[in-house]
Structure 1
Amino acid sequence: MASELHEAMFMAKQERHKNLFLNYRNLNIFPVELLKDEGMQFLERLFMKRNSLTTLPDNLSQKLPNLIELTTVSFVAYCCSSHCLRTFNLQG
C-alpha cells in the first residue's frame, strides 16, 4: 500500500495533476511528501476520505497555495488560514 501511495504522489507531482485521490489509504498522518519542495503547488483538489487522520499540517495553505477543495473525514478540527480554500468537506 505504501508504494501505491508514493507512486500516486510521484505521478501527481511529475504530471502536475490538479486533483489527487488519496481515499481509503489507511493514513494515520498527513503525507509530508505532499508538502516537500514546490512540486505540489498546482494541486487544487485533495481527496482523502476514509483515512484515520487526526490533524492536518499548520502550513498546509502555504505549501498548497492553490488548494480549493479538501475532502476528508475522521479528524477533530482544522482551521484553514488559506484565503483560497473554498470547500472543506468533513462528510464521508
Structure 2
Amino acid sequence: MMAEDHEFSSVEEILIEAAEHKHCILYLNYKGLSELPTDLFQEPICNSVERLFLKRNQLTSVPADIGKLTRLVELYLHSNSLAYLPE
C-alpha cells in the first residue's frame, strides 16, 4: 500500500508505481524537489494518497493544488525551506 522511497528510485518511478498500484502512502523524501511534481495532482494518485512524506527537499512553498489530494490526512514537510502555505 505504499510507494517505497528507495535510495535509487527516481520521483518518476515512485509516481508510476503509486499510480499503478493506487498506493495510499507516498515517500518522496531526500529527492531534491524544489516543487511538487504535477503528476501528484492527477488521477489516480490524487484520489488514493493519504500520507505524503516530503522530508529534506528544497520546497519553499506548497501549491494550492495540494487540495486535490482529497484523501490526504498527513503531510510531512520536515526540513524544507517553506515560506508559503496555501489556505
Q: How far apart, CA to CA, are the structure 2 residues paired with 1:59 and 1:51?
A: 18
For the residues of structure 2 that align with 1:10 and 1:54, how far apart are their CA atoms? 25
Residue 70 of structure 2 corresponds to 65
> Which blocks of at least 5 consecutive residues in structure 1 are unaligned?
81-92
Unaligned 5+ runs, structure 2: 1-6
Match of 1:76 among 65, 83, 87: 83
CA RMSD between the two structures: 1.7
TM-score, normalised relative to structure 2: 0.79
- Size of the alignment, in residue pairs? 77
Shift of 1:59: 2.2
The within-5 A match list for 1:1-92 is 4-36=10-42, 38-40=43-45, 41-61=47-67, 63-73=68-78, 74=80, 75-80=82-87
Q: Is the 8 A contact 1:30 1:55 kept in 2?
A: no
SS in 2 for 1:12: helix
TM-score computed with the length of structure 1 as normaliser: 0.75
Q: Secondary structure at the match of 1:33?
A: helix
Q: Give the AA of the match of 1:13.
A: A
Which stretches of structure 1, 4 residues or longer, exceed 4 Å deviation after superposition?
none
